[in-house]
Amino acid sequence: MIIKPKVRGFICTTAHPEGCKALVRSQIEYVKAQKHSAKGPKKVLVIGASMGYGLASRISAAYSYGAATVGVIFDRAASGSRTATSGWYNTAAFEQIASEDGLYAKTINGDAYSKEIKDKTIELIKKDLGKVDCIVYSLAAPRRTTADGTVYTSVLKTVGDSYTNKTINLKDKTVSDITVEPASEEEIAATVKVMGGEDWKDWIDALVEAGAVEDDAVTVAYSYIGPDITHPMYADGSIGKAKDHLFATAKEITAQGRVKAYISVNKALVTQSSAAIPIVPLYISILYKVMKEKGVHEGCIEQMCRMFNEKLYADVPVTDSECRIRMDDLEMGEEIQSEVHKLWTEIATDNLSTHADLEGYNEDFYKLFGFGAEGVDYEADTDQGTKIPSIEE
């Protein structure tokens, strides 16, 4: 069938298999062309491997070091005239290309929060790889169901007071004020339950208990800090509380003495998750403009390739004084932030095109779903029923 984007709010309900494949291939080509650190992981588990930072981590590990990768994803195959999710197509493309290149890549599809999926993943690791030496935790989820059946839903709200600032309506390209209301205590606790470190630690404990981690294994989870304008929404908001918990969990995991845990503070980028945060997309489109003009813009693949090769697997891991890897080093640079701040104070509907990179934002948004890739014929009849080689349907 001919597949066109169908955007509903922050997501696109269709995805293009050939577009996703072309974009995965271009991420692979990027990594292959970089210089790689002498040290590197050989057997990597990526939890949340189908999109954004997790997918870029999987590609970086595989194509920097020839690492075998096991990915855990939560995606949907095509059914009837409904396309699969883009995470499904990305994973299918990654596995196909990796296998052509002689690299081990298998995937488990299901809820990473569940014991069933942890058990299945560990069984696969033990059978095929024995142990892993690197575990990437890159989940971004709206909800989590715990073993007793309770469903926790995360919220993107402030903590304490409400916060009013500018936001962008991407549909009609207008800037207006938005007031974000504070989360209740219950909502904050639920957000910590979903996006905090509890499940990360459950994964590490389960892997260690099963004897599925190498002695020198490391694990990394991702966070964001950002500038003042986003703090009430992010670092000091409900999601920030979850990230504080994630950070505390890194210390707990390391203190157990088996696996060294890191937090990598990444750059703000357009992903399916960040598109849903109020205020942040306007900040991202200004940031894109400034960083592109200064020639320092990076996407997920540039960030993750640099993280593996220049930070996590440098001779000695490169961290700040609090043991965090700072991939937001360029974003948070003084020159970038003062320019972003100036544009932020001035931005309004009538100067959007000069003050923000809306085109770049939109382009990245459509690419999340495989649309807008170079060399793909979007008018061609396309088979949407792509299979992930390692997954039986």
Nearer Cβ to ligand NAD (212/269): 269
* 180 binds ligand NAD, rule: CB under 6 A: no
Phi, psi of 37 (to 5 degrees): -70, 150
Using DSSP, state whether 273 is helix, strand or coil: coil
* Number of residues in contact with ligand NAD under rule CB under 6 A: 29
Which of 134, 140, 156, 188 contacts ligand NAD by CB under 6 A?
A: 140
> Using CB under 6 A, which of the segments 109-117, 306-314, 353-361, 378-386 binds ligand NAD?
109-117
* Catalytic residue flag (residue 283): no
* 53 binds ligand NAD, rule: CB under 6 A: yes
- Looking only at residues 197 through 236 of this chain, which bind ligand NAD when binding is defined by CB under 6 A? 222-224
**CB-neighbour burial class of residue 268 (10 A; exposed 0-12, middle 13-18, buried 19+):** buried
Q: How far is the CB of 302 from ligand NAD (least distance, A)?
A: 13
- Looking only at residues 353 through 392 of this chain, which bind ligand NAD when binding is defined by CB under 6 A? none
* Contact (CB, 8 A) for 276 and 180: no
Using DSSP, state whether 325 is helix, strand or coil: strand
How far apart are the C-alpha atoms of 329 and 49, rounded to whole Å?
Answer: 24
* Contact (CB, 8 A) for 249 and 168: no
* 52 binds ligand NAD, rule: CB under 6 A: yes
Nearer Cβ to ligand NAD (97/269): 269
Which of 19, 41, 87, 281 contacts ligand NAD by CB under 6 A?
A: 87
* 344 binds ligand NAD, rule: CB under 6 A: no
* Contact (CB, 8 A) for 37 and 314: yes
Phi, psi of 85 (to 5 degrees): -75, 160
Write the binding mask 274 to 313 for ligand NAD: x where contact by CB under 6 A, - elsewhere: x---------------------------------------
DSSP one-letter code for 42: S
- DSSP labels, 162-191: -EEEEEEETTTTEEEEEEEPBPPHHHHHHH
Q: How far is the CB of 277 from ligand NAD (least distance, A)?
A: 8
* Contact (CB, 8 A) for 50 and 75: yes
Positions annotated as catalytic residues are 234
| Site residues, ligand NAD (CB under 6 A) | 48-54, 72-75, 87, 111-113, 138-141, 222-224, 266, 268-269, 271-274
